[in-house]
């Protein structure tokens, strides 16, 4: 009986030890899982932090690039190529294609008086009104021996459509690279609802027979402008 009791006790002790071992193993496994989860969480947090830092750096770089570009545009606008010519200055030399695809140069205008007016775009309200104004008063300019020439960045084909649509009776020059506009200082920084951009300043120049600018009009308001230019041409 004592032997049976001892065996039973031994068996219980072994069972207890096995249970304890299993519990310890389970606890170790749980601890390892918890540690692994914490490590994974930390890695995830680190990756998120790194991603946020990279995003911030990219945004900062983009902002810096935008500021540099903006600065460059302003610098270009203020540079010598875009100096703002006025009365008394020599009219810049040029050679551009007209609305018939034919070349027109400053050399071909030597010894002649002419009006050179810069406008933003063909067939837009303000530009159309201005063009029609010069069209209607062209005889007055011709009597004064003054040739009228309009200039914009539009292509020759666009000029042709604009000319035909409104029966324009004077020359339109195509200045796609804004070379002439820059030479006169009519390619400027403009603002619209807080946005800054480069564009054509509506401006007009009356050049005399000696190739000197007699009078310049800038930031032109279309109403009454053609009349003012004609009066100056007749003076």
What whole-number distance in Å separates Cα of residue 219 and Cα of residue 92?
Answer: 20
* Whole-number pLDDT of residue 180: 97
Answer whether 92's CB lies under 8 Å from 184's CB.
yes
Is 127 in the active site? yes
Q: What is the model's pTM? A: 0.66
pLDDT-derived band at 80 (thresholds 50, 70, 90) equals: very low
- pLDDT one-digit tens code per residue, 100-138: 999 999 999 999 999 999 999 999 999 999 999 999 999
Q: What kind of fold does domain 83-234 have according to CATH?
A: Glutaredoxin (3.40.30)
pLDDT-derived band at 174 (thresholds 50, 70, 90) equals: very high
pLDDT-derived band at 79 (thresholds 50, 70, 90) equals: very low
Give the lowest-confidence range in 6-15, 61-70, 95-104, 219-228: 6-15
Note the maximum CA span of the chain.
Answer: 145
Please indicate whether residue 3 or residue 86 has the higher confidence score (pLDDT): 86
- pLDDT one-digit tens code per residue, 25-71: 666 677 767 777 667 777 777 777 787 778 877 787 776 777 656 55
Count of alpha carbons within 13 angstroms of residue 233, beta-carbon side: 28
171-174 and 203-207: which strand pairing?
unpaired
Percentage, residues of the chain above pLDDT 70: 78
* Whole-number pLDDT of residue 235: 87
* Whole-number pLDDT of residue 87: 92
Count of alpha carbons within 13 angstroms of residue 138, beta-carbon side: 15
Among 96, 104, 127, 230, the active-site one is: 127
Secondary structure class of 106 (helix, strand, coil):
coil
Torsion angle of the four alpha carbons 54, 55, 57, 61, in this order, in degrees rounded to the nearest 10: 130
Q: Which residues 6+ apart lie within 8 Å of 183 measured at CB?
A: 81, 85, 92, 94
Phi, psi of 213 (to 5 degrees): -70, 120
């Amino acid at each position: 009986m004592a032997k049976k009791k001892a065996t039973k006790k031994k068996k219980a002790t072994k069972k207890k030890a096995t249970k304890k071992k299993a519990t310890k193993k389970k606890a170790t496994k749980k601890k390892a899982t918890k540690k692994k989860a914490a490590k994974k969480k930390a890695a995830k947090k680190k990756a998120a932090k790194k991603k946020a830092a990279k995003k911030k750096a990219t945004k900062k770089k983009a902002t810096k690039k935008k500021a540099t570009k903006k600065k460059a545009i302003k610098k270009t606008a203020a540079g010598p190529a875009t100096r703002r010519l006025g009365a008394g200055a020599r009219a810049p030399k040029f050679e551009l294609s007209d609305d018939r695809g034919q070349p027109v140069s400053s050399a071909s205008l030597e010894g002649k008086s002419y009006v050179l007016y810069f406008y933003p775009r063909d067939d837009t309200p303000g530009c159309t009104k201005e063009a029609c104004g010069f069209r209607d008063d062209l005889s007055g300019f011709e009597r004064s021996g003054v040739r009228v020439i309009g200039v914009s960045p539009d292509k020759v084909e666009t000029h042709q459509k604009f000319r035909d649509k409104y029966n324009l009776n004077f020359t339109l020059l195509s200045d796609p690279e804004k070379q002439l506009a820059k030479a006169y200082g009519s390619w400027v920084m403009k603002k619209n609802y807080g946005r800054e951009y480069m564009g054509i300043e509506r401006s007009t120049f009356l050049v005399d027979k000696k190739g000197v600018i007699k009078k310049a009009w800038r930031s032109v308001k279309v109403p009454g402008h053609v009349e003012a230019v004609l009066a100056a041409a007749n003076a």
